[in-house]
Structure 1
Amino acid sequence: RLTHSFVNFDTINLAIRRGLRSRFLSDNFDPIGTDPYSSIPYSIVDSLEHKLLTKQIFTIGPSSDDISVQAHTYHGTPSKLITTLDGIQSIALKYNVNVVHTWDASRRNNSDEDFAHAIELSGESNIILFVDGLDESFEEEDTDRNTLQLPGGQLELIKLLMKLNKPFAILIISDSSISEPLIVNENLAALLWISYFGHDCLPSTLPINTSQLLPIDDYSMNKSPGRTYRYLDYNKAPPLFPFDYGLSYSKFTFNSKLIIFPNPINNLDTDITTNISIINEDPYRAQFVVQLYYEFSNSTVIKLSIRELLQFTKITFEKKMNKKLFLLHFMLEIFPIQIDNNY
């Protein structure tokens, strides 16, 4: 088959490496008798007692089995609506994992009458998934919210579940911002926000609360503390999550200073070259998004933004890999409006 070019040596070597790696990890090549588990017969391994140790996922929350979160404004009409619970159950079934479900927290009121039931099911489960957020009655073209927090009794139940010290994940489904600093600061649960199913998710700056927001009838961008990442003064109104915030499974470090050429920039009609070295410090293959901003921190020009995103790129790093990144940007792309108006 090599003769006919159906496969090459690189593909064969990759398959061999994968096969050998799995055998190394499962101790297949260890000397006979050194594995303490090899003497356990299959009658015990495959016993009814062990089969009953199947993991259980507890799925809870008002958005977990609610089709309205995928039939929101500007939605299509699929042939079948699949809720978060439906998706988890279909995957869990393949791995013989049991899924239990209850709502037990309302968006409408602060009632805690079902909290005891939720705590009981949580105690019987290995993993807790809380699916919460908003629905169309809280946010529409003609509907305003008076808070950025989760409505109803959702947060109170989350507080109780965090105390159980179990693997806990929170999935927030909404179209507009949800800000819960307590969940972030306690760091006792994995937190993921998504938009209503089928909607695009655009990066945004997430404020801590409504006190950081300008009046809705004031459309100015640069009035203190400012709007959007371009005009927001992070010292006056530090956001809960800044624009395009993200996490990675690995730790990345900039291990050199950002080098800019030319420096200083005396002519706007010029190319700017920037380079910096980045290292993946952990033993994991991972991706990292590098963002290049230009800040106008000392500018006295009123209409000039505080910062501008110039470029971004996603890079894949092998474990412990160090890369040097070069970015090229044309200054006139930043200032077309300012130059036209003699700013």
Structure 2
Amino acid sequence: MKKNTLIAVALLFGSVVSVFGQNKVPVYLDDSKPLKERVEDALSKMTLEEKIAMCHAQSKFSSPGVPRLGIPENWMTDGPHGIRTEVLWDEWSQAGWTNDSCTAFPALTCLAATWNRDMASLYGNSIGQEARYRNKNVLLGPGVNIYRSPLNGRNFEYMGEDPFLSGQMVVPYIKGVQQNGVAACVKHFALNNQETDRNTVNVNVDDRTLYEIYLPAFKAAVQEGGALAIMGSYNKYKGQQCCHNEFLLKDILRKEWGFEGVVISDWGGVHDLNQAIHNGLDMEFGTWTNGLSWGTSNAYDNYYLAQPYLKLIKEGKVGTEELDEKVRRILRLSFLTTMNRNRPFGSFATKEHALAGRKIAEEGIVLLQNKNNILPIDLNITKKVAVIGENAIKMMTVGGGSSSLKAKYEVSPLDGLKKRIGSQAEIVYARGYVGDASGSYNGVVSGQNLAEKRSAAELQAEAISVAKSADIVIFIGGLNKSDHQDAEGADRKGLELPYDQDKLVSELVKVNKNLVFVNISGNAVAMPWVNEVPGIVQGWFLGTEAGNALAEVLVGDVNPSGKLTFTFPVKLTDNGAHALGDFPGKNNEQTYREGLFVGYRYADKQKIKPLFSFGHGLSYTTFEYGKVTADKKELTADDKITFNVEVKNTGKRDGAEVVQLYITDLKSSLPRPVKELKGFEKVALKAGETKTVSITVDKSALSFFDDKKHAWVAEPGDFEALIGASSSDIKTKVAFKLK
């Protein structure tokens, strides 16, 4: 072997060797050295051109390393729900691989609905293993933007309306991903709460609302989760694009939170060279982002942080201090991911990952209504089941935007039910309505042929005929991932169900009262027929094992334990963004006039009864709460207080309950919500079993952000701790003081 080859091998593996008189390998390749020392050593060896190259993309999903120094490329991948299929180097078209069919995990709305931190850890670790196996070192997710309006087309990718819950669920997800030597890139920072005019809309929000509602989950991701990367959002804030926003990226993210990781632009989210240099952005990705190079072969060289940046430096118009800071952070990312010799090898599309997704799906499905105990399906007396609705057969892993997946397989709800009960009861299917017959997105094709020649009237007549003769009707409808539904790039046009589903549900329940509506969606929908339909299930987008998980809940093999992470309003004006605002804005300006009062906070303030409340979710068993007690009557500023409550499973089935702690400030110098979620625990209980649930908080749970002082404040005085099964089902409370 030639001398230079031996040295290259030694460099690549970071070994301490002696080759033809050479001494130890460079410091930057010696992983026994402190990380900062390695970064500085590598930086000192790089040319100006090599530094510039690391700050921008070289293909749709990769950026250069430094081959001369043995520093690998960085490879990104969508998305938060599964590892996206390979595309061509410089096109969105499919690369045509035959081994990139992934596990599709449930959407993040479903994960959050588990209210189970262990499920978030399992999710993160599983998807991290898949990313690692495909040699991706940055996973573009998870998303933690707050559910402000039920019309946001991208809500299904996020974790609901509450900042505390989102923060609690994102931290174990991040840690799970990153233990595989893959960076989690938390998105979209910040205030990305609509898809309409997403690249141009300027968000106006007061500092208190920003800090209390829209930033806490990102802060938890950084300070508790240790996220290695953050993605900027498309929209503007304070008139600056968020991908190079001085207040968000420098003042808050870097200075206040101490973030040491990499800030990555959303694809095409960079608009200004000077701001991109000076305002905290590190890596620029996208398509023809400077708007001048459409179709040119060297488009990436023309990105803002490419040749234009290099030209300014060479002309002496800007220095290299900002560039060195960017490269330091990128090198840190590389050393912790691609150059970490101890990172595991990962695994891909395995049975274990499919079962992990199935377990998450089972825990996230929410039983919203169960009059007359219509569920679970009693297979001892049920001889014929009518399954109705396009969503019973339509694949949901394809489409929706950047989270679209080429799944190894996807079990439909109809197939899941056939597999589970087909040998015990007759299952008859009727489509009922035609929604979206297409099955492709960016070249990923579902393979389904959902073309339909029959008229809407014929489809409805068939559904009614099938329903009449059935013992129970399972209507599987809701939304899909088409434009103006649950999809990136466009918001919903209204709260109602599409494709005349409301009319069909109303007609079906007239001929068969034993009707269960399964809502497949990542968003709340209106239900004008709610009083007539006894069974309602929130079924989410459940991924690869969707049908199996749903069937197990419907027949009672799994006792549902999911809880809603956002409020279902009766009508759109029961939501603060629509009652007080002009969603999605006018003239590219959107003002958050509801302020702090998002979701259940608005419903509490206005004393509005929701269709279904935040935190709501039923079980096939029943739970009884004892009286909550506190371990002390007064909380000092440097102490903690623990609340204890006994919970008993009073039914005949094993089950799990989510015990929720809300805090009320009885007197405050500034207006505050009636109550705010500040703790929760999911407890598994066997039939007849009692357990004591303990939740501990400190003064941060009592604090609000004083925008005049620009500081978090906990005012001495009287508080109440409320223990509930949802935000509207408070079981017990106890008073305490902050000294």
TM-score by length of 1: 0.70
Quickly say closer, same or farther: Cα 1:182–1:125, change in 2 above 3 A.
closer
2:406 to 59, 77, 95: 77
Cα distance in 2 for residues equivalent to 1:198 and 1:62: 16
Q: Which amino acid aligns with 1:249?
A: Y
Quickly say closer, same or farther: Cα 1:280–1:92, change in 2 above 3 A.
closer
Q: Does 1:155 align with 2:484?
A: no
Q: Which amino acid aligns with 1:259?
A: T
1:324 to 683, 686, 692: 692
Cα distance in 2 for residues equivalent to 1:235 and 1:251: 30
Q: Does 1:170 align with 2:541?
A: no
1:195-214 to 2 correspondence within 5 Å? 195-198=540-543, 203-213=565-575, 214=577
Cα distance in 1 for residues equivalent to 2:693 and 2:610: 28
Q: Does 1:220 align with 2:589?
A: no
1:134-187 superposed Cα distances (whole Å, 9 cap, x missing partner): 22133233322232121232112212222334542211112222121532x33x
2:419 to 90, 103, 116: 90
2:469 to 116, 124, 140: 124
Quickly say closer, same or farther: Cα 1:127–1:54, change in 2 above 3 A.
closer
Aligned with 1:70: secondary structure?
Answer: coil
Aligned with 2:504: secondary structure?
Answer: helix
Asked whether the 8 Å contact 2:397–2:407 carries over to 1, the reply is no
Q: Does 1:57 align with 2:385?
A: yes
What is the match of residue 240 of structure 1?
Answer: 611
Q: Which amino acid aligns with 1:157?
A: L
What is the match of residue 66 of structure 2?
Answer: none
What is the match of residue 529 of structure 2?
Answer: 182
Asked whether the 8 Å contact 2:387–2:473 carries over to 1, the reply is yes
Aligned with 2:604: secondary structure?
Answer: coil
**CA RMSD, aligned part only?**
3.2
CA shift for structure 1 position 210: 1.0
Give structure 1 regions of 4+ aligned residues with deviation exceeding 6 angstroms: 199-202
1:10-31 superposed Cα distances (whole Å, 9 cap, x missing partner): xxxxxxxxxxxxxxxxxxxxxx
Asked whether the 8 Å contact 2:509–2:515 carries over to 1, the reply is yes
What is the match of residue 29 of structure 1?
Answer: none
Cα distance in 1 for residues equivalent to 2:654 and 2:571: 36
Q: Which has the higher contact order (CA 8 A, sep 6+)?
A: 2
2:657 to 280, 288, 294: 288
Quickly say closer, same or farther: Cα 1:232–1:223, change in 2 above 3 A.
farther
Quickly say closer, same or farther: Cα 1:297–1:176, change in 2 above 3 A.
farther
Q: Does 1:193 align with 2:538?
A: yes
Q: Which amino acid aligns with 1:263?
A: K
Aligned with 1:75: secondary structure?
Answer: coil
Asked whether the 8 Å contact 1:112–1:153 carries over to 2, the reply is no
Quickly say closer, same or farther: Cα 1:157–1:297, change in 2 above 3 A.
farther
Q: Does 1:138 align with 2:484?
A: yes
Quickly say closer, same or farther: Cα 1:222–1:166, change in 2 above 3 A.
closer
Quickly say closer, same or farther: Cα 1:310–1:167, change in 2 above 3 A.
same
Asked whether the 8 Å contact 1:232–1:306 carries over to 2, the reply is no
Quickly say closer, same or farther: Cα 1:86–1:278, change in 2 above 3 A.
closer
Cα distance in 1 for residues equivalent to 2:674 and 2:700: 17
Cα distance in 2 for residues equivalent to 1:97 and 1:252: 32
CA shift for structure 1 position 219: 4.5
Q: Which amino acid aligns with 1:323?
A: K
Cα distance in 2 for residues equivalent to 1:207 and 1:259: 33
Asked whether the 8 Å contact 2:519–2:539 carries over to 1, the reply is yes
1:204-246 superposed Cα distances (whole Å, 9 cap, x missing partner): 122221112323234537448x213355535443322222211
Asked whether the 8 Å contact 1:106–1:153 carries over to 2, the reply is no
How many correspondences in the alignment?
282
What is the match of residue 623 of structure 2?
Answer: 252
Q: Which amino acid aligns with 1:283?
A: K
Asked whether the 8 Å contact 2:502–2:529 carries over to 1, the reply is no
Aligned with 1:114: secondary structure?
Answer: helix
CA shift for structure 1 position 333: 5.1
Q: Which amino acid aligns with 1:209?
A: K
CA shift for structure 1 position 113: 4.3
CA shift for structure 1 position 132: 0.7
Asked whether the 8 Å contact 1:206–1:241 carries over to 2, the reply is yes
Asked whether the 8 Å contact 1:206–1:239 carries over to 2, the reply is yes
Q: Which amino acid aligns with 2:626?
A: N
Cα distance in 2 for residues equivalent to 1:284 and 1:86: 27
Quickly say closer, same or farther: Cα 1:103–1:294, change in 2 above 3 A.
same
Q: Which amino acid aligns with 1:245?
A: H
* Larger helix fraction of residues: 2
Q: Can you give the 5+ residue segments of structure 2 that lack an aligned partner in the other structure?
A: 1-380, 437-454, 547-561, 714-739
Aligned with 2:506: secondary structure?
Answer: helix
Cα distance in 2 for residues equivalent to 1:100 and 1:284: 30
1:276 to 624, 635, 645: 645
Asked whether the 8 Å contact 1:75–1:198 carries over to 2, the reply is no
Asked whether the 8 Å contact 1:254–1:279 carries over to 2, the reply is yes
1:44-101 superposed Cα distances (whole Å, 9 cap, x missing partner): xxxxxxxxx993322111212222x3312203211334322222233344x2533222
* Identity in percent: 24
TM-score by length of 2: 0.35
Quickly say closer, same or farther: Cα 1:90–1:282, change in 2 above 3 A.
closer
What is the match of residue 346 of structure 2?
Answer: none
CA shift for structure 1 position 342: 5.7
Q: Does 1:313 align with 2:681?
A: yes
CA shift for structure 1 position 279: 2.8
1:109-137 superposed Cα distances (whole Å, 9 cap, x missing partner): x9544333222212232331111112213
What is the match of residue 99 of structure 1?
Answer: 427
Quickly say closer, same or farther: Cα 1:234–1:156, change in 2 above 3 A.
farther
